[in-house]
Amino acid sequence: MGDLSNRTLTRPELSGGPVNLSRRGFLLASSGAAAGSLVLGLGLPGSRARAQEAMAPGTRVPAFLEIRPDGTVRLLSPFVEGGQGVFTAMAQIVGEELDADPATFVVENAPPGADYQVMEGMPGFRITGGSLSVRTSYAAMRRLGALARAMLMTAAAAQLGAPVSELSTEPGRVVHAASGRSLGYGELAPAALDLPVPDPESVTLRDPAEFRWIRQPVKRLDVYEKSTGKAVFAIDAQVEGMLHAAVQHAPRLGMTIGTIRNEDELRAMKGVHSVHHLPGAVAVVAERWWDAKRAAEAAQVDWREPEGAPEPNLRHMPADFSTDAFGDALERAPGDGEEAEAKGDAPKVLGEAETVVGATYRAPFVNHAQLEPPATLARFNPDGTLDLWVPNQAPDMFQADAAKQAGIEPARVRVHSPLLGGFFGRHFLYPSSNPYPQAIALAKAVGRPVKVIWSREEEFLRDRLRPMAVTRFRGTLDADGLPLALEAVSACEGPSEAISGRDKDGKLDPMATEGLTGKAYAIPNVRVAQIYVQNPTMLGYWRSVGHSMNDFLYESFFDEMADQGGQDPYELRLRLLAGNERLTNLLKAVGDLSGGWRRGPFTAEDGSRRARGVAMASPFGSEAASIAEVSIEEGEVRVHDLWQAIDPGSIVNPAIIEAQVNSAVALGLSQVLLEEARYEKGQPVARNFDMYPILPPDRMPRVHVRVVESGAPMGGIGEPGLPSVPPAVANAVSHLTGQRARRMPLSRLSFES
Amino acid sequence: MKKRFAIPAVVLLAAVAGGVWLAKHHPASPFEAAEKSAAAPDLVARGEYVARASDCVACHSLPDGAPFSGGLEMATPMGSIFATNITPDPETGIGAYSLADFDRAVRSGVTPDGRRLYPAMPYPSYAKLTDEDVRALYTYFMEAVEPANHPNRPSGIDWPMDQRWPLAFWNMMFTEGGVYEASTSEDALWNRGAYLVQSAGHCGSCHTPRGPAMEERALDESSPLYLSGALLDGWYAPSLRNDPNTGIGRWSEADVVAFLKEGRNAHAVVFGSMADAFNNSTQFLTDEDLRAIAHYLKSLPGDPERDGSPWEYDPASAAALAPARRAEVPGAQTYATKCAYCHGADGRGRAPWIPPLAGAVSALAPEDASAINVTLNGSARVVAGGVPDAYRMPPFRAQLSDREIADVLSFIRSAWGNSGGAVAPEAVAELRGPTDPASSQVIVLQMR
Amino acid sequence: MELRINRETYSVQSEGDTPLLWVIRDELGLTGTKYGCGIAQCGACSVLVDGVVTRSCVTPVDSVEGSEITTIEAIEADETGRRVVEAWVAHQVPQCGYCQSGQVMAATALLRESPNPSEEEIAAVMVNLCRCGTYNAIKAAMADLADGGERG
Ligand code: FES
Ligand code: FES
């Protein structure tokens, strides 16, 4: 999601100042603060808040930090935690400069507000996505820690009667070495956090050579809670007097309720409070969710076909939509497409070539299938404000849209961002795909707090899909069998142009072709183009976005070309990367990690025939290379080992990186082996994990990770591990079976054992 | 949704010998001279009840179409045929039918223009309906069903198999004709049950074995083959006789009533085609009628020869499911991870909500179609009294290979005293292609 | 109906066919047990019923009357459960954490039944889905536990 900030998501109307909320109330209501603990340092008297309004995001220390008497540091993170470890990373970065052990941190997601729009180069913008969090906030969060440390030192100077220059810190304490006296941060906080924040330019940051926590495998802060069921997700939110709601959505987006034939019977069902007609959905509110769900399922609705044109940002699902037929249509899409990248003159070279290698590849729609079904709790308060507990990757955007839905000022909406039970792009602002508009409408209608949970079946019906792409490749080789020209024409729609509309100036959606574009191989003539075909489906971001499919498409065809030229695909990559030190090192690193490149096929110790495949990708500012070892068992692809070398430039937490690569490998394998969101007659074939299998434990290979720190500018980590996985597997399978795997998922193809 | 109904070429062969006279013969109806008269409301209500009992809606309605406007596809080996529009629309439905026309279609399978209906329409059973029930049915359709202008889809059967006159010959050979006649040696309850089962209920359409020309091999209890279980549409419809293994021998009359009323009892939950029959038909019958049906069915003796020695629970197989031993028995690991969370390591299920597999007909019958089909495709939601089931059987076709399904079913069919026997992967493959997974959504067909 | 959960007796009002999961979450307010699929496909809702790992989304509440139910909330009160949690923390298993209540319950059930399970036993039993792909971390934690903490 490289350039999300510029052109992709609708920017919210932001209120400017900090949100008008009772911080104390907020703190006590939220999960991390111990009830009754003395809240210090966060009281912002109105006058001073105004006086400091012009402060740059990420510098108003009290908006981020609370230091409790016991020295515990509560940090409000600009980025939401959904498994990627960002809370821990934030604690490491801030703790490093604050001089406080990350283990003493309690981290929660920050409310909306300009203070938290810290992403470098993206003013006024805040999302958790695009593997952007750490790399775009690294400098700001370090500075924040340093500013806080400076304030603590100033306060200590006053209390100790010693000049700041004589003071130093050790974790959690300010020390006056000369007198042997020291004060804990907890003691200093009340005074310190009342001081004006120093000039951000005035603080010096720690020399990276002296880092104690950054670059260390610091333990994650959320692991214990998550191992004991104490972690609270949106689906778990509870407030007093709350009712539960379940919905039955129209089978196709755009349809509306005609009548509910059995509405009276539904009302009479056990536990039912009320039945509601919402846009495109029947909702049942009940004392318990199970009762609501049963009644919602029982609703016999005459759904009306949509009338008129869809609202902006909404697509009416046609009654005859079939993904297989749509794929075939993409295959036949006419034209050469609009150019996304060009080098040399590929069309000419291909036109004159004697032999042209051509192939058409296909990547399907896929679902997010995060394990937590979407849920939102909405509560209107007596003062007319709205509290919203909503899974989200962008609090300010949700605040703005929720305000619109509720008909109140954004400043009167408090957005609580609980831990996400997986996200992978699922929780951006997709109003037709998220339950918060329903929760708001229902809470308003019944005058009590309402929590809406979508059943897994409703989730599969309304989830937004990763786009489908059909890509036509042509390539030709020189006399030595080296690629001379390569053309990739992809018929697809990018997720951003699907969400926000096509660019008025005709700029293409870079996410449509990223991964076909931006390849580092020295091929003299290259043309990458997109044939824009609007999808009838709602589209969204999926982990690794365009890269999740395009690197599969490109890197698999790359192997076809290598084979055509009689070249070993690993050696060919090395050769075409000559002079590119970073990628050469990376490719060698993964080769070494796997015990030296060997393509096979060979017979393994257990007697199975195996082969290996290699692939590379350059996603989200990082570089990755994977090697996969596969066999075929009973016609099914078995991945035994997956080696990945990943270079994010520089790192914060190697343990988290290794875990994230494991996670990305699992999702990448799940995609290449199993996943496909199919529609027939305008409806999804799968409405649960029964018909949409995701990677089960027995198909998880051993994963070997080597983190390479090239020192290049810091790249992302959450997504970059994924894109090279599917093509590495597909290339291994193609080589082993002699049958080109040109589409995902491989379960759609049949292989001989 | 597609049903499979095989009409083999034998029908045609048989017909070659048939005479033209027979083909053109127009069956008589007692309503020949009947006047059209305004219907009494209770006749409409009675007609609706007969329509429920006859489950007309199951074939003549689609979930997303107007009630009775037709459309269910029946795949035959020769091509597809489509259930017709039976709304009172004069152009595309049966609006122009007189009562006599209607009667000839329902009880004799002949349309006003002399075309013969395929016996996918169970007129051999409906032939037993009383005149009163036919009149009520007609009145219901004419007065209470909304006319829908919805042209019938032509059948996909090509010449010469599309010739329907041979069916007349089939009719002559295989239907008995005539309204149900009460047995004097049985009481009223039994006779009411027999009437419902044999006529409107057309239970034999699925549960009685068919002969080489697809004819039901018996139409009443005079033959021990009647309702003795049959393979149809990729499902094995079990025996409805007192067979302890493949029938309802272990059920009480109250169990039968509960099954038809609630869709479930301690022994089983409706699935496959029976889920549709329950959702649309049996649950709407009065308790009295259900008791009659149960009483009649329980009077049909089983056949130990066919059924084998009665099933007895054997706890020994649970040992194969111990984590350390699962690898030794094919199918045990799949059972433990895909089936046991609902049906239990002891195979006893959680009755009546989740059915036992220990002692289940699908695990005891030599025919393995139902076991395979329900594993591949899951089952439709069971909707009792407007309330959907809490637990549904999911389809496993996307997760399990033919071999895995064969293995797990072989395990199930030999565990806990079950004696159905092994299932071959080829049998799974054979059903995988032509069948579709059941919808996870609640589908309620409307009658009005 | 009375239920025994985490060694306490609760009287519950839900209908007999209500899934145990929703009785635990909504009626008793114990939200550590998660809803993922509702049809026994994912394992997020795993609890122990008389020590046996059970998917509460497909467990009608009337079928566990009289049984001793353990949810994740009481996991550390159990000696084996406590060790599992320790191993989970040591191996930093969770990512988003949503599946982990169920994973910990499944692990605890196995270790209570078989204190030194083989690799095959672990693979046979640890079948809950994890969308975040923590499978290898789970495997490592289990290997440790199986060896009584000796390995790893
Ligand atoms: S919620 Fe019970 S197994 Fe998924
Ligand atoms: S940790 Fe996220 S689903 Fe398992």
Query: pLDDT tens across A119-175, in order?
Result: 999 999 999 999 999 999 999 999 999 999 999 999 999 999 999 999 999 999 999
**Cβ of residue A387 closer than 8 Å to a chain C Cβ:** no
Same domain membership, residue A381 and residue A335: no
Q: Both tokens of residue C122?
A: 């672990």
The whole-number average pLDDT for the span A419-429 is 97
Span from the CA of A131 to the centroid of ligand 2 (angstroms): 18
Same domain membership, residue A245 and residue A222: no
Position B24 scores a pLDDT of 56
Position A55 scores a pLDDT of 87
Q: Is A315 inside a domain boundary? A: no
Is B59 one of the annotated binding-site residues? yes
**Nearest residue on chain A to C44, judged by CA atoms?**
A371
pTM of the model: 0.93
Residue B19 in this model has a pLDDT that exceeds 70: no
Same domain membership, residue A267 and residue A163: no
Burial of A366 (0-12, 13-18, 19+ CB in 10 A): buried
Specify the CATH class of C75-146 in words.
mainly alpha
Q: Is A314 inside a domain boundary? A: no
CB B253 within 8 A of CB B291: yes
The whole-number average pLDDT for the span A577-587 is 98
The residue ranges of every structural domain in chain C are 2-73, 75-146
Residues 6+ away with beta carbon under 8 Å from C10: C2, C3, C4, C28
Q: Across chain B, what does the average pLDDT equal? A: 90
The architecture of the domain spanning B38-147 is Orthogonal Bundle (1.10)
Position A426 scores a pLDDT of 97
Same domain membership, residue A622 and residue A639: yes
Residue B114 in this model has a pLDDT that exceeds 90: no
Position A751 scores a pLDDT of 84
Nearest CA to C75 out of C36, C102, C54 is that of C102
B partners (3+ CB pairs within 8 A) are A, C
- Domain total in chain A: 3
Same domain membership, residue A304 and residue A262: yes
Same domain membership, residue A520 and residue A438: no
Q: Is A738 inside a domain boundary? A: yes
Residue A256 in this model has a pLDDT that exceeds 90: yes
CA distance A85 to chain C (A): 7
The architecture of the domain spanning B188-307 is Orthogonal Bundle (1.10)
Range(s) for CATH 1.10.760.10 in chain B?
A: 315-432
The whole-number average pLDDT for the span A272-293 is 98
Residue B110 in this model has a pLDDT that exceeds 80: yes
Rg (CA), chain B: 22
Nearest CA to C103 out of C142, C76, C145 is that of C142
Residue A5 in this model has a pLDDT that exceeds 60: no
**Cβ of residue B350 closer than 8 Å to a chain C Cβ:** yes
CB B263 within 8 A of CB B275: yes
C97-122 confidence digits (pLDDT tens): 999 999 999 999 999 999 999 999 99
**CATH topology for the C2-73 domain:** Ubiquitin-like (UB roll) (3.10.20)
Amino acid at C2: E
Position C148 scores a pLDDT of 72
Q: Both tokens of residue B75?
A: 């795949």
**Cβ of residue A240 closer than 8 Å to a chain C Cβ:** no
The whole-number average pLDDT for the span A422-437 is 96
The whole-number average pLDDT for the span A544-563 is 98
CATH code for the domain of A177: 3.30.365.10
Residues 6+ away with beta carbon under 8 Å from A30: A108, A416
Same domain membership, residue A169 and residue A102: yes
Q: Which domain holds residue A49?
A: 2-227
Q: Is A458 inside a domain boundary? A: no
Spatial distance between the Cα atoms of C133 and A642, rounded to a whole number of angstroms = 13
The whole-number average pLDDT for the span A253-279 is 97
Buried b / exposed e along B414-427 (16+ C-beta atoms within 10 A): bbbbbebeebeeeb
B91-106 confidence digits (pLDDT tens): 999 999 999 999 999 9
The whole-number average pLDDT for the span B235-239 is 97
Count of residues in chain A: 753
Spatial distance between the Cα atoms of B14 and A281, rounded to a whole number of angstroms = 55
Residue A7 in this model has a pLDDT that exceeds 50: no
Rg (CA), chain A: 27
Position B175 scores a pLDDT of 67
Same domain membership, residue A150 and residue A116: yes
Using the structure block, give the residue that is written with the tokens 């409408």.
A441
Same domain membership, residue A552 and residue A403: no
Residues 6+ away with beta carbon under 8 Å from A622: A131, A646, A647, A648, A649, A715, A716, A717, A720
Spatial distance between the Cα atoms of A425 and B221, rounded to a whole number of angstroms = 63
Position B120 scores a pLDDT of 82
Residue A259 in this model has a pLDDT that exceeds 50: yes
**CATH topology for the B315-432 domain:** Cytochrome Bc1 Complex; Chain D, domain 2 (1.10.760)
The whole-number average pLDDT for the span A685-710 is 98
Best residue among C72, C89, C134 to mutate for probing ligand 2, ranked by most atoms within 8 Å of CB: C134
A458-508 confidence digits (pLDDT tens): 999 999 999 999 999 999 999 999 999 999 999 999 999 999 999 999 899
> B17: pLDDT confidence band, cut at 50, 70 and 90?
very low
B398-436 confidence digits (pLDDT tens): 999 999 999 999 999 999 999 999 999 999 999 999 999
Same domain membership, residue A140 and residue A279: no
Burial of A550 (0-12, 13-18, 19+ CB in 10 A): buried
Position B173 scores a pLDDT of 66
Span from the CA of C116 to the centroid of ligand 1 (angstroms): 27
The whole-number average pLDDT for the span B30-59 is 86
A592-645 confidence digits (pLDDT tens): 999 999 999 999 999 999 999 999 999 999 999 999 999 999 999 999 999 999
Interface touch B353/C110, C-beta < 8 Å: no
Q: Is A387 inside a domain boundary? A: yes
Residue C149 in this model has a pLDDT that exceeds 60: no
Q: Are strands A243-249 and A450-453 parallel, antiparallel or unpaired?
A: parallel
Final residue belonging to a domain, choices A227, A243, A262: A227
Instruction: Tell whether ligand 1 has an atom less than 6 A from the beta carbon of residue C25.
Output: no
Position A722 scores a pLDDT of 98
Instruction: Tell whether ligand 1 has an atom less than 6 A from the beta carbon of residue C37.
Output: yes
Position B64 scores a pLDDT of 83
**Nearest residue on chain A to B397, judged by CA atoms?**
A691
CB A579 within 8 A of CB A588: no
A partners (3+ CB pairs within 8 A) are B, C
Using the structure block, give the residue that is written with the tokens 């509601």.
A276
